[in-house]
Structure 1
């Protein structure tokens, strides 16, 4: 955990309740997610985006289950651009590099560690890093690979 963080926090705190509601509703209808899953995905996507905006030293990736949350936010382009400018003073682009997403889950595990270091609570089930997830059934990428 980050030395400045005293307790774990959620990604949803990064946006106001009205925007979080719109993003979750988008996931419900566009990605056919139930409400609790959409809330979990959006929370983790926001934590990931915040971490990615503060770290550029190593390649970090959202899991396959968290990535739709980032897509949902990007599609709300004005809000996403404003968020990026306020939070990072730059636009955080989504540049999918499928070939760099390691099949052994190393990049996902590194991403989860970076999110936790910023003080965010991680929903390990969405990242494929839950304690009950063991290779080869799971390789650290959210949907059990």
Structure 2
């Protein structure tokens, strides 16, 4: 009997650097290194895992547009989330990443809830990361269950509240939003 793997092994997984042009990689790495005073080696690895996470989120969002049941909530670990917070500040890079990976904006809503505290969210995340075919650096994902970028009190400060409406901006839910480049 022959058994075929449904995803590449970590030995054959692709380098996350392949997801972005070299100049974009350099910007992400430099921004993170400057703000976190981390070594070059750590920064490279952290940025790589952020890109793996963002790609996994994008894959889920694209699939969910075709089949809403395909949606799964996945979460970053604190070190990956630190890169995400830094990347969000460079909008000229973050928006094209979101569009390329998800076909739309990948939003960040920091929360802490029972799904994260129990470790269920992270357990659900790892297979989605591996399904990208990219290298998943276990050091950034193991032993991070029940972790979040957001302290528990943020759930009562709007962390779980979605957008309420566009009325104050002169827009309605029927107004198409377009982005021109």
Please name the residue that 2:21 is paired with.
Answer: 16
Residues 1:110 and 2:124 are matched in the alignment: yes
Q: Which of the pair has more CA radius of gyration?
A: 2
Q: How many residues align?
A: 134
Instruction: Report the Cα distance in structure 2 between the residues aligned to 1:50 and 1:43, rounded to whole angstroms.
Output: 11
Shift >4 Å, 4+ stretches: 1-6
* Correspondence for 1:124 among 138, 143, 146: 138
Unaligned runs of 5+ residues in structure 2 are 62-70, 149-181
Secondary structure at the counterpart of residue 119 of structure 1? coil
Select 1:60's aligned residue among 74, 96, 109. Answer: 74
Contact 2:116 2:146 survives alignment (8 Å): no
Offset from partner CA, 1:48-94 (integer Å, 9 cap, x none): 00100111412100001111111222111011112222332211111
Unaligned runs of 5+ in 1: 130-137
Paired residues of 1:9 and 1:121 also in contact (CA < 8 A): yes
Which residue of the partner structure matches residue 109 of structure 2? 95
TM-score (norm 2): 0.65
The verdict on how the C-alpha distance between 1:2 and 1:43 changes in structure 2, with shifts beyond 3 A counting, is farther
Q: 1:16-55 maps to which residues of 2 (within 5 A)?
A: 16-55=21-60
Change (3 A) 1:42 1:101: farther
TM-score under structure 1 normalisation?
A: 0.80
Coordinate RMSD, CA, aligned:
2.5
State the structure with bigger RCO (CA 8 A, min sep 6), 1 or 2: 1
